[in-house]
Amino acid sequence: MPSTTQQIPYADLDTVRSNPENISVICPLCQKESTYNRVSDLGITGFIANQQVNCLQPECREAFYLCGDMLGLNFQLVILSCQHLIDTKDYTRCIMDLTQAHEMFFKLFLQVELVFKPFGLCDASHLNILRKLEQSLIKELKTLAFAKLRNVFMHMMVSPVQHGNLDTIYKFIGHLNDECYAKPPKVRSLPVNAKGNLNPLLNSIYRSDICTLRNTVIHSSAYHPTKEEAVFFYRETRKNVLGLAAILDLKSEMHAYRNC
């Protein structure tokens, strides 16, 4: 087995395939594919970067570096794994997963705006308050389903929170389940001069029917989504959720928002 960093080869990036649970790669030494479960094989739940692993083939077992995990955010991995569900004709699971990816995206956005960005602005003496913010947000998020999460997201795009005032944010979190979020904001109130492709994507996610279809699947056992529906919502979700995550520059690590 190679003993120094220089001798350990890197796997070819083009051979890496990711999904939320596993990452597969062709071993650069024996040229056979190994599949690693993120948690039980690697002990990692997030983005895998430059990880030294051993080939899982019994006759090889050589060490190499694994990198090229496509994306670090869980909802991104869920969305991309839906291509496989379409290939295997698992359209019901595809719609369920795409809807869940939306919910994960909305929740990360709330976490970033209500905990991570305030954390980036405050000093160490406020860490206890930040912990309270995070616990309070986790409690509120448990009861927010797709429709209300999307409404809160849209309202926050129209009226952004001030990250520097922790008291205001704490109160804001306490009101996430209020009736004012039972409806989305008026379309005409969406920001109009936003950068990049933000406006078309906001309008598109605002009007998306994926949750309606998901609810039909759940509540009507006779209904099974078609391939056309799965492909349509897969493309729509890639465009909207991945596009908005990129424009909003969402990161899953609190420390990424320190001093920025």
Pairing status of strand 33-37 against strand 17-18 = unpaired
Give the residue with the Cβ less far from Zn ion, 60 or 86.
60
Q: Which of 5, 39, 1 is nearest to 23 (CA)?
A: 39
Residue 8 interacting with Zn ion (CB under 5 A): no
81-96 burial, b at 16+ Cβ within 10 Å, e below that, comes to bbeebeeeebbbbbbb
State the nearest-atom distance from the C-beta of 54 to Zn ion, in Å.
Answer: 8
Q: Which two tokens stand for residue 15?
A: 């051979």
Q: Per CB under 5 A, which of residues 143..182 are in contact with Zn ion? A: none
Q: Which of 8, 29, 129, 254 binds Zn ion (CB under 5 A)?
A: 29
Three-class SS of residue 182?
coil
Residue 85 interacting with Zn ion (CB under 5 A): no
Give the residue with the Cβ less far from Zn ion, 64 or 234.
64
State the nearest-atom distance from the C-beta of 13 to Zn ion, in Å.
Answer: 17
Calpha distance 260→221 (Å, rounded): 48
Q: Which of 23, 27, 94, 96 binds Zn ion (CB under 5 A)?
A: 27
State the nearest-atom distance from the C-beta of 36 to Zn ion, in Å.
Answer: 13
- Binding segment for Zn ion (CB under 5 A), chosen from 28-36, 88-96, 172-180, 207-215, is 28-36
User: Exposed, middle or buried: residue 227 (CB in 10 Å: 0-12, 13-18, 19+)?
Assistant: exposed
Calpha distance 45→70 (Å, rounded): 14
Return the DSSP state at 185: P
Give the residue with the Cβ less far from Zn ion, 53 or 55.
55
CA-CA-CA-CA torsion sign (221, 237, 75, 163): negative
Binding letters toward Zn ion, positions 37-66, x by CB under 5 A: ------------------x-x--x------
Give the residue with the Cβ less far from Zn ion, 45 or 52.
52
Determine contact, residues 42/17, Cβ cutoff 8 Å: no
Give the residue with the Cβ less far from Zn ion, 10 or 223.
10
Give the residue with the Cβ less far from Zn ion, 57 or 199.
57
- Binding segment for Zn ion (CB under 5 A), chosen from 30-38, 125-133, 174-182, 197-205, is 30-38
Give the residue with the Cβ less far from Zn ion, 26 or 230.
26
Q: Which two tokens stand for residue 234?
A: 């897969």
Number of residues that bind Zn ion (CB under 5 A): 6
State the nearest-atom distance from the C-beta of 30 to Zn ion, in Å.
Answer: 3
Residue 29 contacts by C-beta under 8 Å, 6 or more apart in sequence? 9, 55, 60, 62, 64
Calpha distance 41→68 (Å, rounded): 17
Residue 30 interacting with Zn ion (CB under 5 A): yes
Residues that bind Zn ion (CB under 5 A): 27, 29-30, 55, 57, 60
